[in-house]
Structure 1
Amino acid sequence: MFRRFVAFVLLVWLFGFLWFAIALPGPLPASQRTDVIIVLTGSSGRIEHALKVLEEGKAPDLLVSGVDREVRPREFAAQFSVPPRLMKCCVTLGYRAYDTRSNAIEAAQWVEEHGAKSVRLVTADWHMRRAALELGREFPEGVRIERDGVPSRPSLGALFLEYHKLLARAALDLWER
């Protein structure tokens, strides 16, 4: 009986990991509009994608969460070729976050300040599920998260680690209820 239970748990874990690794969230349709955009710093392509969406007018404001404290707005604008008018009106650099959990706290405060009801969350495809879970826990009631996954080529190790972080966060949510 015990062996069957362990075998069942291992199969559930294995199929869950396969689903997690194969069915990575993709980008939103180009026509999708939201009240704001939030991009979490990290792997390449995230910030560039969020700025492109902002420039296309799919949302009026962008929070870049998790910016290194040493980075000044002028440096950021130069590195990512952000026009000064766009930087001044529409881009907020968030310096308080250092991990996904603190990204969620920083983003929730910013979303509340902006009165947003819909958020385009931009992060790497492999990071999207846990990031959306964390943000959803912190956001005010009624805020809709639209997942805009930036395609990447994560290593098996990165997927393995992220899958277990997601499982741990989901288990903690169940425990807290």
Structure 2
Amino acid sequence: MILRIISTALLVWIFGFVWFSLALPQPAGDLQTDAVIVPTGSAGRIPQGLSVLEQGLAEQLLVTGVDPEVKPGEFAAQFGVSRRRMDCCVTLGFAAVDTKSNALETAEWVADRNITSLRLVTADWHMRRAAHELELALPSDVTIVRDAVQTELELDGLFLEYNKLLASWLAGLVDY
């Protein structure tokens, strides 16, 4: 009996991993939201978030998890953001250190503004976990649009992220 339970759990885990690896989230296209949220991390996230802002698909941008050593002027210079754009529309969040704290930092930022919809820009392999943490942290009336940045992650990275997602789902059953 125990062997059947273990075998079934293993098969569910394997099929889940195959689904996770083969059906990675995609870019969102040109949907309009109040804000765009970009957790720092892999390449392409911040440029995509800034592109969403430049296209007028969102009015505000939060980059969450910025290293406290980074100065706004350095950020602006690195990513070619004008001072006017930085002043009106870009917020650098320095409090987050991981995906869960990105979500908590975002929830606090959203609560301080009149935001009912946001676009989450993150790597395709990171999207499910980041969106899950946001769903747990945000009020249920805030719409989250998933805008995945396409990447090429090795099998070991997908394996690690899949297990982190499972852990996040399990922790979400008891947290928040």
Q: Give distance in 2, aligned partners of 1:100 and 1:163.
A: 14
CA contact 2:136–2:172 (8 Å) conserved in 1: no
Runs of 4+ in 1 over 4 A off after TM superposition: none
Residue 36 of structure 1 and its aligned partner are, at CA, apart by 0.6
Residue 48 of structure 1 and its aligned partner are, at CA, apart by 0.4
- Once the two structures are superposed, what CA deviation does each residue of 1:140-175 show, in whole Å capped at 9, x if it has no partner? 230011000100011111111111111111112234
SS at match of 1:152: coil
Aligned twin of 1:133: 132
- Once the two structures are superposed, what CA deviation does each residue of 1:93-119 show, in whole Å capped at 9, x if it has no partner? 000111111101110011111121101
TM-score (norm 2): 0.96
Aligned twin of 2:24: 24
Instruction: Identify unmatched segments of 5+ residues in structure 1.
Output: none
Aligned twin of 2:86: 87
In the TM superposition, 1:22-171 aligns within 5 A as 22-29=22-29, 31-171=30-170
Instruction: Identify unmatched segments of 5+ residues in structure 2.
Output: none
Instruction: Please provide the CA RMSD for this pair.
Output: 1.2
CA distance 1:57–1:176, shift in 2 (3 Å): closer
Q: Give distance in 2, aligned partners of 1:146 and 1:176.
A: 23
Aligned twin of 2:10: 10
TM-score (norm 1): 0.95
SS at match of 2:125: helix
Q: Which amino acid aligns with 1:61?
A: Q
> How many percent of aligned residue pairs carry the same amino acid?
56
- Once the two structures are superposed, what CA deviation does each residue of 1:9-35 show, in whole Å capped at 9, x if it has no partner? 111100000100111101001x20001
CA distance 1:88–1:176, shift in 2 (3 Å): closer
Q: Give distance in 2, aligned partners of 1:67 and 1:115.
A: 23
Q: Give distance in 1, aligned partners of 2:91 and 2:168.
A: 28
Q: When the two structures are aligned, how many residues end up with a matched partner?
A: 176
Residue 83 of structure 1 and its aligned partner are, at CA, apart by 1.6
